[in-house]
Chain A
Amino acid sequence: MAFEGLAERLQGTLQKIRGKGKVNEADVKEMMREVRFALIEADVNLKVVRSFVKTVSEKAVGQDVLKSLTPGQQVVKIVQDELTNLMGGEQAPIQFARKSPTVIMMVGLQGAGKTTTTGKLATLLRKSHNKKPLLVAADVYRPAAIEQLETLGKQLTIPVFQRGTDISPVEIVRQALEEAAEQHHDVVMIDTAGRLHVDEALMQELKDIQELAKPDEVFLVVDAMTGQDAVNVAKNFNETVGITGVVLTKLDGDTRGGAALSIRSVTEKPIKFIGVGERMDALEPFHPERMASRILGMGDVMSLIEKAQANVDEEKAKEMEEKFRTQTFTLDDFLDQLQQVKKMGPLDELLKMMPGANKIKGLENAQVDEKQMGRVEAVIQSMTPTERATPEIINANRRKRIAKGSGTSIQEVNRLLKQFNDMKKMVKQMSNMQQKGNKKMRMPGLDSFFK
Chain B
Amino acid sequence: MAMSTSTDAGAADLPRVAQDPANARVSALLASAARRTPMGDTPAAWLLLLPLLLFFLVSVVYPLIETIRLSFYDIRGLGKPTYVGLQNYFKLFSDDNFTTAMIATVKWTLTSTFVSVAIGWMLAMLCSLSPGRTLPFRVMIFAAYGVSEAVSGFMWLGIYRPDVGLLNALLGSVGLDAWQNPWLGDPSTALWAVIAAYVWTQVGLPLMTCFASIQAIPKNLFEAAYVDGAKPYSMLRHIVMPLSLPGVRVAIFINLLSSLKAFDLIFILTSGGPVRSTETVGYFMYRESMQNFKLGYGAASTVILLLGVLLVSIPVIIKRTEAAR
Does A associate with B in a complex? no
